[in-house]
Structure 1
Amino acid sequence: MKKKKSWKYKLLVSSAFLLVILAVGFFVFVSSYYKAQTYAQESLQSDSGVTVKDQKELVFEPVSNAENIGFIFYQGAKVDAAAYAPMAKEIAKQGYKVIIPHLPFRLAIFSPDRADKVIRNHPEIDAWVIGGHSLGGVMASDYASRHEKIKGLVLLASYPQDTVDLSVAPVQVLSIWGSNDRVADIETIQAAKAVMPADAKFIEIEGGNHAGFGDYGPQKGDGKASVPNKEQTEQTSDAIVELLDGLQ
């Protein structure tokens, strides 16, 4: 006569099976992501004004007249880091080194302190600004609230977590969103003024949408942009450069 399996054995088998299902589901989830499109791919090429390097991080370095202020940028959830190359290159053209780390699974939540490594890798930079798009901005806000080396914060269609209060932090803040964004909660973005420094700058790009801050195609649930992607990128880059210039 066969012995009945113990309840501990059955529980162990069931737990193992559940873990396998969860792991498979997670990898299916992260394997589908928004890829960099043509405009972004073109911006990955070095030229006479900007040198682009793509290794463990995307680095956009001015060829000449480089400033001692760097900009670290965290990608949006499940978005290829290269999708933000157009914005990064425009900023680098104005003399500022821009670094976009390749985050694990393209999710900033798995490496919120990745900026630590960026800062260590670039000792030539004296002051840093950090920013991010959507979920990337949430993690960038948290990082800025905990690190005195960060002098500026840029939020693109994003806002801090409930636990973050930057109202008395010595940091310059810039928050930008598109009026046609249907992914981020615009009311929450605007309400974040309550936890920002009094001089924080909030800008709405008329006709812009959520995906327009990068070049990765339409995003599920997003509104339709009524301005070209390049125009939204240029407006965003100009505003970020203005913040960086103000830190000189």
Structure 2
Amino acid sequence: MKGKKSLKFKIVTAMTILLVILVSTFFIYVNSYYRASSLALDNLKSDSVVQVEKDGDILFKPVANGKDIGFIFYPGAKVEMSAYAPIAKEIASNGYTVIIAKMRFNLAILSPNRADDIINKYNDIQSWVIGGHSLGGVMASDYALESDSIKGLVLLASYPQDKRDFRNSNIKTLSLWGSNDKVANLNKVKEAKNVMPSNSEFIEIKGGNHGGFGDYGHQSGDGEATITNKEQMNYTSKCIIKLLDSMN
């Protein structure tokens, strides 16, 4: 009897230690993330053209002449959501409401349906486009394919999961990536064209890299960009605005 109790105690102790190690490892992992840099932080301020509100998600709302098309953005994995403020604010300055979605532990894979709450909250918006960077784009494409509310999809250095097929959908799609990206699988990024509607746009940004879609410094393992991240974000904004304009 004593031997059985001793064995049970050892098993419980071992399992408890393993659980503590796993939980500790998870929290160390998720609390190590890329933080927004100065350009992004500057774009979190409201001005005469765009009102910025941070209440969980970050809202960029045109002060005047707002259109009834909204853009939901899913950040890349382990990237602070504020890092994408320059792109969001530029789009909003052209009349489109933009919401950067807050993800649990900065991982879109843990909040794949975050867009549900956003769409329900902003019911004055008639049409929605969703997009995302890297893993955020993967989750955004999943949501787009399953939701009747989404009319457009923007992929930044991203692609849909395997077996996702958009060819029979009416979702307008824009895919952008940097030529010097060493983080994303660029073969999969480009091959995604085979499962997208025929009118989809696939654009390579010469000299851009993976981290250049946001303002959060150099991402580990990424290639060196030959353009600034400001240039990459400005070009990206223009392409997204063109897509949104085409939906009016």
Query: Same fold by TM (over 0.5)?
Result: yes
Asked whether 1:20 is paired with 2:14, we answer: no
Q: Partners in 1 of 2:90 and 2:52 — Cα distance?
A: 12
* Identity over aligned pairs, percent: 55
Q: Structure 2 regions of 5+ residues with no counterpart?
A: none
1:104 alignment partner in structure 2: 104
Which runs of 4 or more aligned residues in structure 1 lie more than 6 Å from their structure 2 counterparts after TM superposition?
none
2:33 alignment partner in structure 1: 33
SS of equivalent to 1:208: coil
Q: Deviations over 1:143-199 (max 9, x none)?
A: 001001100000000000013111111100000000000000111100011111111
2:184 alignment partner in structure 1: 184
The number of equivalent residue pairs is 247
Q: Partners in 2 of 1:166 and 1:12 — Cα distance?
A: 49
TM-align CA RMSD: 1.1
Q: Partners in 2 of 1:229 and 1:239 — Cα distance?
A: 15
Give the partner amino acid of 2:79: V
Further displaced range: 126-135 or 6-15: 6-15
Give the partner amino acid of 2:150: I
Query: How far off is 1:19 after superposition?
Result: 1.1
2:89 alignment partner in structure 1: 89
Q: Partners in 1 of 2:243 and 2:152 — Cα distance?
A: 8
Query: How far off is 1:6 after superposition?
Result: 4.9
Q: Partners in 1 of 2:154 and 2:85 — Cα distance?
A: 16
Give the partner amino acid of 2:194: A
Q: Partners in 2 of 1:223 and 1:115 — Cα distance?
A: 31
SS of equivalent to 1:35: coil
Give the partner amino acid of 1:11: I
SS of equivalent to 1:54: strand
Q: Partners in 1 of 2:168 and 2:196 — Cα distance?
A: 8
Asked whether 1:238 is paired with 2:226, we answer: no
1:122 alignment partner in structure 2: 122
Q: Deviations over 1:125-156 (max 9, x none)?
A: 00000000000000000000100110000000
Give the partner amino acid of 1:192: A
Give the partner amino acid of 1:42: D
Q: Partners in 2 of 1:58 and 1:41 — Cα distance?
A: 12
TM-score (norm 1): 0.97
Give the partner amino acid of 2:59: V
Q: Partners in 1 of 2:10 and 2:195 — Cα distance?
A: 50
Q: Partners in 2 of 1:95 and 1:217 — Cα distance?
A: 29
1:200 alignment partner in structure 2: 200
SS of equivalent to 1:209: coil
Q: Deviations over 1:212-244 (max 9, x none)?
A: 000000000000110111110111000000100
TM-score (norm 2): 0.97
Asked whether 1:214 is paired with 2:197, we answer: no
SS of equivalent to 2:2: coil
Give the partner amino acid of 1:48: S
Query: How far off is 1:207 after superposition?
Result: 0.2
SS of equivalent to 2:28: helix
1:43 alignment partner in structure 2: 43
1:66 alignment partner in structure 2: 66
Asked whether 1:138 is paired with 2:138, we answer: yes
Give the partner amino acid of 1:241: I
Give the partner amino acid of 2:2: K
Give the partner amino acid of 1:95: G
Q: Structure 1 regions of 5+ residues with no counterpart?
A: none
Query: How far off is 1:123 after superposition?
Result: 0.5
Q: Partners in 2 of 1:15 and 1:170 — Cα distance?
A: 50
